[in-house]
Amino acid sequence: MSGGRGGRTVGRERITYHFGPELEPVLEIESGETVTFETLDASSGRVRQASDIPAYMRIRDPGRVNPASGPIAVRGAEAGDELRVEILAIELEDVGWCRLTPGAGVMRDEIDELHGMIFHVVGDELVSETGIRFPTRPMVGVIGTCPAEGRYVTAEPGPHGGNLDFNDVMVGTVAHLPVFVPGGLLALGDVHASMGDGEVSGTAVEISARVTVRVELVKGAARARPWFEAAGCWLTYGTAPDLEEAVRIAVSEMATFLEDRLRVSRPEAFLLISARGDVRIGQSARCGIDQTVRVLFPRLAPAGG
> Which residues are near Ca ion by CB under 5 A?
42, 141, 163, 165, 190, 206
Distance CA 226, CA 257 (A): 11
> Closest separation between CB of residue 17 and Ca ion, Å?
13
Residues contacting residue 19 through CB under 8 Å, at least 6 positions apart: 68, 71, 144, 145, 146, 147, 151, 152, 154, 160, 161, 162, 185, 187
Whether omega before 71 lies within 30 degrees of 0, making that bond cis, reads yes
Nearer to Ca ion, 156 or 253 (CB): 156
State which residue has the least CB distance to Ca ion.
141
Instruction: With beta carbons less than 8 A apart as the criterion, state whether 262 and 300 touch.
Output: yes
Contact 104, 202 (CB under 8 A): yes
Task: Report the nearest approach of Ca ion to the CB of residue 161 (Å).
Answer: 12
**Minimum CB distance to Ca ion, residue 40 (Å):** 11
Shortest Å, Cβ 298 to Ca ion: 26
- Return the half-sphere exposure (C-beta side, CA atoms, 13 A cut-off) of residue 89: 13
| DSSP code per residue over 237-278 | EEEESSHHHHHHHHHHHHHHHHHHHT---HHHHHHHHHHH-E
Q: Is residue 137 exposed (0-12), middle (13-18) or buried (19+ Cβ within 10 Å)?
A: middle
Cβ proximity to Ca ion: between 153 and 251 the closer is 153
Q: Which is nearer to Ca ion, 111 or 264 (CB)?
A: 111
Please report how close the Cβ of residue 192 comes to Ca ion at its closest, in angstroms: 6
C-beta of 98: minimal distance to Ca ion in Å?
9
Q: In this complex, which beta carbon is closest to Ca ion, that of residue 82 or of residue 165?
A: 165
Q: C-beta of 44: minimal distance to Ca ion in Å?
A: 12
Exposure of 213 in the CB half-sphere (CA atoms within 13 A):
32
Name the packing angle between helices 243-261 and 266-276 (round to 10°).
Answer: 110
Closer residue to Ca ion in complex, CB, 188/255: 188
**Nearest CB to Ca ion, comparing residues 91 and 268:** 91
Cβ proximity to Ca ion, 72 vs 205, nearer residue: 205
